[in-house]
């Protein structure tokens, strides 16, 4: 007897993706905006709470720690819950934690709420990805995953900056109240509009843990960490690169950064359409694109006419991998996707968290700002042999399976 007695959603094939996939993306956008908003209001938080800027910066690190370590345990804890229940609960916990942080003047309490937000965010992201693939047929899983992840890219290029702008006029809490409102709306819409999806079979912790023993999963996680760090290290320092190296006037920097976001959406769209059939090619194209655009940024950084299209290319290449990453994870762990999906979230966040450390080593050693693009190129280049090796093993395993099926007896 299945623990989840909710009516299972019949996957939709052909035509447009179901509305539920876009609702998942909206909620991820709402919650993800809190992550990218914080960096824009750190000085205001430091002044308001009478703490140092470095202490305020710890709020970012604490959130990241919550995401990295929280996803897999949360996935196990909620494994037997109906997915709609998990989606609504994680959004409710996230909104409540943000609200508590906004109502306090205690740095310690705010720090604790940021950690809880990270846990809830990781839990939502992991279950949202699994829910999305349950709403579509197997040949569209990468595309559906790409749409969900697009909510995060929208949070990075629009939600965070918009929240920071709102906070500029209302105080640092204003943008976060907007996040609370959007997250609450997402939770309500999930409760009303999301199908009460079930897992389709009895949830099993043992099966989930057994799936994690597959080496191919960890190959994909390595690609996730490397690729995320590769494009994020250039993006995080792009504003300084544009002003110091390219000579772009400060007023035009946001417009150039927006090109990265446009490229990200294009990359997700392209990747979602090819990753279901050619995941290795999508991964290789993304890795080579990140590496090439990063190298060219370093070489041609003083020429604005070259830099502007390269920023667009970096966005495309960086995000064309994401649907393929999720597609591979859910193909490898198709019978136990929840923990595998949660670990993917942790891998993404770990890649982001590595950026300050990697860039700090170079910059503190006296290297110029162009050094970060060289680091990004090197990280992306490291993906290529990993993907080629994984593809070779996959083909060998497929041949062995075919030979085993065709052999007599």
The pLDDT score that the predictor gives to residue 403 is 59
CA neighbours closer than 13 Å in the CB half-sphere of residue 153: 30
Write down the pLDDT at residue 409. 45
For residue 12, list its beta bridge partners. Answer: 136
Q: What is the pLDDT of residue 198?
A: 55
Report helix, strand or coil for 12: strand
Nearest CA-CA partner of 246 in 307, 337, 318: 307
pLDDT recorded at residue 381: 97
Burial of 367 (0-12, 13-18, 19+ CB in 10 A): middle
pLDDT at 125: 86
Measured between alpha carbons, how far is 313 from 289 in angstroms, rounded to an integer?
7
Per-residue pLDDT of the chain (409 residues; tens, 9 = 90+): 333 434 445 555 556 788 899 999 999 999 999 988 887 788 889 899 998 877 887 888 889 889 888 888 888 887 778 889 999 999 999 999 999 999 999 999 999 999 999 999 988 988 888 888 888 887 788 788 888 888 887 887 788 888 888 888 899 999 999 999 999 999 999 999 887 765 555 667 888 888 888 888 999 999 999 999 999 899 888 888 998 999 998 888 878 888 888 898 889 889 888 887 888 899 999 999 999 999 999 999 999 999 999 999 999 999 999 889 988 888 888 877 888 888 988 898 899 888 888 888 898 899 988 999 999 999 999 999 999 988 887 777 666 655 554 555 4
Is the separation of the CB atoms in 273 and 328 below 8 Å?
no
Look at residue 37 in the predicted model and tell me its pLDDT. Answer: 86
Please say whether the beta carbons of 195 and 135 come within 8 A: yes
Task: Please give the pLDDT value at position 401.
Answer: 58
| CB atoms near residue 193 (< 10 Å) | 11
User: In the chain, count of helices (H) and strands (E)?
Assistant: 17, 0
Q: What is the DSSP string of 140-187?
A: GHHHHHHHHHHHHHHIIIIIHHHHHHHHHHH-HHHHHHHHHHHHHHHH
Both tokens of 374, joined, read 């060289």
DSSP state, 278? -
- DSSP designation for 138: G
Distance CA 409, CA 404 (A): 10
Q: 294, 380 in Cβ contact below 8 A?
A: yes
Q: What is the DSSP string of 50-107?
A: T--HHHHHHHHHHHHHHHHHHHHHHHHHTTTS-HHHHHHHHHHHHHHHHHHHHH---H
pLDDT of residue 159: 86
Residue 14, SS3?
Answer: coil
What pLDDT was estimated at residue 96?
Answer: 98
In DSSP terms, which residues pair with 136 in a beta bridge? 12
Taking the C-alpha atoms of residue 182 and residue 288, their distance in angstroms, rounded to an integer, is 37
Closest CA to 241 of 163, 162, 296: 296
CA distance 326 to 333: 10
C-alpha span between 22 and 320 (Å, rounded): 18
Please state, in angstroms and rounded to a whole number, the distance separating the CA atoms of residues 396 and 282: 20
In the block, tokens 């709470």 appear at: 49
Look up residue 330 and give its two tokens: 């859910």
List domains and CATH numbers for the chain. 19-203 (1.20.1250.20), 204-403 (1.20.1250.20)
Give the whole-angstrom CA distance, residue 163 versus residue 380: 31
Cβ 398 vs Cβ 263: under 8 Å: no
């Amino acid at each position: 007897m299945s623990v989840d007695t909710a009516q299972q959603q019949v996957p939709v094939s052909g035509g447009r993706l179901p509305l539920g996939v876009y609702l998942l993306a909206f909620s991820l956008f709402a919650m993800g905006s809190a992550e990218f908003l914080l960096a824009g209001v750190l000085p205001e938080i430091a002044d308001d709470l009478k703490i140092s800027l470095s202490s305020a910066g710890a709020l970012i690190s604490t959130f990241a720690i919550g995401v990295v370590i929280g996803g897999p345990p949360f996935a196990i804890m909620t494994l037997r819950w109906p997915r709609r229940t998990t989606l609504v609960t994680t959004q409710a916990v996230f909104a409540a934690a943000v609200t508590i942080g906004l109502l306090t003047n205690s740095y310690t309490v705010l720090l604790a709420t940021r950690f809880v937000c990270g846990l809830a965010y990781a839990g939502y992201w992991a279950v949202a990805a699994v829910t999305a693939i349950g709403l579509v047929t197997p040949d569209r899983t990468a595309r559906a995953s790409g749409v969900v992840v697009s909510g995060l890219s929208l949070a990075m290029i629009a939600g965070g900056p918009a929240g920071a702008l709102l906070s500029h006029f209302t105080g640092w809490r204003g943008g976060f109240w907007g996040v609370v409102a959007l997250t609450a709306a997402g939770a309500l819409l999930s409760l009303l509009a999301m199908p009460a999806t079930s897992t389709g079979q009895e949830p099993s912790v043992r099966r989930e843990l057994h799936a994690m023993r597959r080496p191919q999963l960890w190959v994909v996680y390595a690609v996730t960490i490397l690729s995320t760090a590769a494009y994020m290290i250039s993006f995080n320092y792009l504003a300084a690169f544009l002003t110091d190296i390219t000579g772009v006037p400060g007023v035009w920097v946001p417009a150039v950064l927006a090109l990265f976001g446009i490229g990200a959406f294009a990359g997700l769209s392209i990747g979602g359409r090819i990753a279901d059939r050619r995941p290795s090619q999508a991964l290789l194209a993304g890795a080579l694109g990140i590496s090439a655009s990063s190298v060219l940024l370093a070489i041609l950084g003083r020429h604005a006419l070259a830099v502007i299209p390269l920023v667009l290319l970096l966005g495309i290449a960086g995000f064309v991998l994401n649907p393929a990453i999720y597609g591979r994870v859910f193909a490898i762990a198709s019978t136990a996707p929840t923990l595998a999906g949660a670990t993917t979230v942790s891998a993404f966040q770990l890649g982001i968290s590595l950026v300050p450390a990697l860039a700090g080593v170079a910059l503190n050693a006296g290297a110029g700002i162009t050094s970060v693009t060289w680091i990004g190129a090197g990280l992306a280049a490291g993906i290529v042999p990993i993907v080629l090796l994984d593809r070779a093993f996959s083909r060998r395993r497929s041949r062995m399976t075919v030979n085993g099926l065709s052999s007599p007896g």
